[in-house]
């Protein structure tokens, strides 16, 4: 009888608290237009009714996952239970203003419960901040403890205009190992990593962000693929105690973001300067000579520097229009890039050696360079000041080479003798029949396991050294990767996808760049010619490859009139050139 009374008291106590409460709050009430807000909704009480989410028109809403907590209390012999469900939402404002998040509601046992409305003020902002979104912030597979998302600061851009892509990893639990991150596929874009990695806490989450700058190569509709993260999370029993934490197991879980669409617009044809070569950004131009007073046939180094914000690697060489009074040599380029505040900026420097041929006041004309300003959406032309040289009479051009030493002659070489003596062969000796254990085959069979083990050890060390030597690894894979990518582009062309010139140029440039452990994006025509001249002996093949690359670069920014058949022929020409360069020893 006593047991029955105690059981009734326990059951009565367990269900004593029937009411529930709903609260809603944000991590901040004032936010910039290019920032995000984390909204947390708590449903607490003896029941867990489904939450009704109101219509939120002024924000893009992404699901941040949910979690559940349960607790038991004993007060004066009465036991009660309470359950709390946490819902997280990531809000990205669509514009500036004062907005109200409506009440969240839930129905429990015929009664409606609701939260208080939440006020948020959105102000205009310019600088990109954490999780900057452009309506494309997307949460992926996740739960209340872990989720991932990918965001971009803008989803409609011009060709070569920078996009900042942010991968965010949110977690409320400790991991049992280092997570494995696979970046999203970004075919059709030049990429620049933007260090450093950002770590901070937000609304109970430990957040890790990785940022990448993307520069679209050609116009069209593109998709940034899924980013993936594999985490080793703890697996515990129902009792989350010390021993459960200490001896609990772990399992790998995979989280993926959703694809993000990007619209890439062609550069406007209106107002395009004749000397425009495809550079996009915001730049300054400077031209300097290492000396202003020289003698005839004396070298002068002319330095042309383009500095600013944009895809520094794709800046093309400014043209120098010199008269016959100068002799000009091929330019050599260099660059420095910085990524402060997650913005790609720097300078590309072109150094050209010019030699004055006559005495007097000689002038190197002003250098012109045109680019597209993606901020103001207009073309701009930079013009430098002319460079004037005071040239006095020096040694004649023929005299410069008069005293060069001649190569030694091969005449008069005499042979005094030879030091190679042939080994005389002996007749085979026939003997008695040999037993098997004394035969060479028996020895070989016994050595096979040892040889196999040695082969495995050497091969594993070779593979390890190959993976550690990134330059060798890239160079060894460049040929096969280039042919595979060209085959895929050829297939896209046949299916009617037109904007493929940018991808073809990237494939060709990356193939050559990988051979010398350089990024293909920074290679100009002169760089291509210089690299091939160092690696390939056939000068005619070098000139043909450089001309083909120059034609490809021109077609990419010229008004497109290429049909599918022409693009297929162009792709085949690039393929044949890569095969020839590989055979020539590149």
Asked if the model's pLDDT at residue 394 lies above 60, the reply is: yes
> Who wins on pLDDT, 439 or 346?
346
What pLDDT does residue 127 have? Answer: 34
Q: Residue 406 has what pLDDT?
A: 45
Highest-confidence segment of 122-126, 147-151, 468-472, 563-567: 147-151
Residue 535 phi/psi, 5-degree rounding, is: -100, -30
Dihedral pair phi/psi, residue 232, rounded to 5° = -95, 105
For the chain, what is the radius of gyration of the CA atoms?
35
Nearest to 290 by CA among 366, 394, 389: 389
What tens digit of pLDDT does each residue of 50-96 get?
Answer: 888 899 988 888 766 677 777 666 555 565 667 888 888 878 888 88
Q: What pLDDT digit, counting tens, does each position of 514-556 carry?
A: 887 777 766 777 778 878 888 888 888 888 888 888 887 777 6
At 15, is the pLDDT very low, low, confident or very high (cuts 50, 70, 90)? very low
Other beta carbons less than 10 A from residue 374's beta carbon: 19
Extract long-range pairs of 571-575: CB within 8 Å, 24+ residues apart: 571/486, 571/489, 571/490, 571/493, 571/500, 571/504, 572/490, 573/548, 574/486, 574/504, 574/507, 574/508, 574/548, 575/483, 575/486
Tell me how far apart the alpha carbons of residues 124 and 257 are, in angstroms, rounded to a whole number. 28
pLDDT, greater one: 176 or 193: 193
Torsion (CA) 391, 394, 396, 402 in degrees, nearest 10: -140
The region of weakest confidence among 160-174, 226-240, 321-335 is: 226-240
Is 90 exceeded by the pLDDT of residue 214? yes
């Amino acid at each position: 009888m006593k047991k029955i009374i105690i059981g009734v008291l326990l059951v009565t106590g367990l269900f004593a608290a029937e009411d529930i409460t709903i609260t809603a709050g944000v991590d901040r009430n004032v936010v910039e237009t290019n920032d995000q807000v984390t909204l947390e909704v708590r449903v607490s009480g003896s029941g867990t009714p489904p939450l009704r989410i109101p219509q939120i028109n002024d924000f893009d809403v992404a699901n941040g996952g949910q979690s559940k907590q349960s607790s038991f209390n004993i007060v004066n012999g009465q036991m009660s239970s309470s359950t709390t469900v946490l819902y997280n939402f990531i809000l990205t404002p669509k514009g500036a203003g004062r907005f109200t998040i409506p009440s969240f509601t839930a129905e429990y046992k015929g009664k409606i419960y609701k939260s208080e409305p939440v006020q948020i003020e959105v102000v205009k902002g310019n600088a990109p901040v954490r999780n900057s979104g452009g309506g494309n912030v997307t949460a992926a597979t996740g739960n209340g403890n872990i989720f991932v998302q990918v965001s971009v600061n803008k989803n409609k851009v011009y060709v070569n205009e920078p996009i900042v892509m942010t991968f965010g990893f949110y977690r409320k639990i400790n991991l049992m190992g280092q997570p494995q991150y696979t970046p999203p596929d970004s075919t059709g874009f030049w990429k620049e990593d933007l260090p450093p990695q950002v770590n901070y806490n937000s609304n109970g989450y430990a957040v890790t962000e990785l940022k990448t700058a993307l520069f679209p190569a050609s116009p069209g509709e593109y998709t940034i693929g899924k980013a993936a993260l594999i985490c080793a999370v703890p697996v515990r029993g129902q009792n989350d105690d010390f021993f459960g934490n200490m001896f609990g197991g772990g399992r790998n879980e995979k989280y993926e973001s959703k694809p993000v669409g990007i619209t890439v617009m062609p550069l406007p044809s209106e107002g395009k300067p004749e000397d425009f070569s495809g550079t996009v950004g915001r730049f300054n131009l400077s031209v300097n000579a290492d000396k202003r007073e020289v003698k005839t046939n004396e070298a002068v180094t002319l330095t042309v520097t383009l500095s600013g914000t944009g895809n520094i690697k794709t800046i093309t060489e400014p043209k120098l229009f010199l008269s016959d009074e100068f002799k000009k040599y091929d330019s050599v380029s260099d660059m420095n890039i910085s990524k402060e505040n997650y913005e790609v900026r720097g300078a590309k420097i072109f150094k050209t050696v010019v030699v004055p041929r006559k005495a007097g006041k000689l002038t190197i004309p002003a250098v012109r360079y045109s680019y597209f300003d993606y901020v103001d959406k207009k073309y701009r032309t930079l013009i430098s000041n002319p460079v004037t040289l005071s040239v006095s009479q020096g040694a004649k051009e023929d005299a410069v080479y008069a005293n060069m030493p001649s190569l030694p002659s091969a005449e008069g070489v005499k042979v005094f003798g030879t030091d190679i003596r042939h080994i005389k062969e002996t007749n085979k000796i026939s003997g008695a029949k040999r037993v098997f254990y004394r035969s060479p085959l028996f020895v070989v069979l016994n050595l096979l396991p040892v040889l196999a083990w040695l082969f495995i050890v050497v091969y594993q060390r070779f593979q390890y050294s190959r993976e550690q030597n990134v330059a060798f690894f890239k160079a060894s894979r460049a040929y096969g990767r280039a042919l595979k990518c060209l085959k895929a582009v050829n297939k896209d062309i046949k299916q009617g996808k037109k904007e493929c010139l940018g991808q073809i140029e990237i494939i060709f440039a990356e193939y050559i760049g990988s051979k010398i452990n350089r990024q293909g994006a920074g290679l100009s025509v002169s760089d291509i010619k210089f690299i091939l001249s160092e690696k390939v002996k056939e000068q005619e093949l070098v000139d043909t490859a450089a001309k083909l690359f120059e034609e490809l670069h021109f077609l990419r920014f010229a008004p497109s009139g290429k049909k599918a058949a022409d693009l297929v022929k162009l792709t085949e020409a690039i393929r044949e050139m890569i095969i020839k360069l590989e055979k020539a020893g590149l």
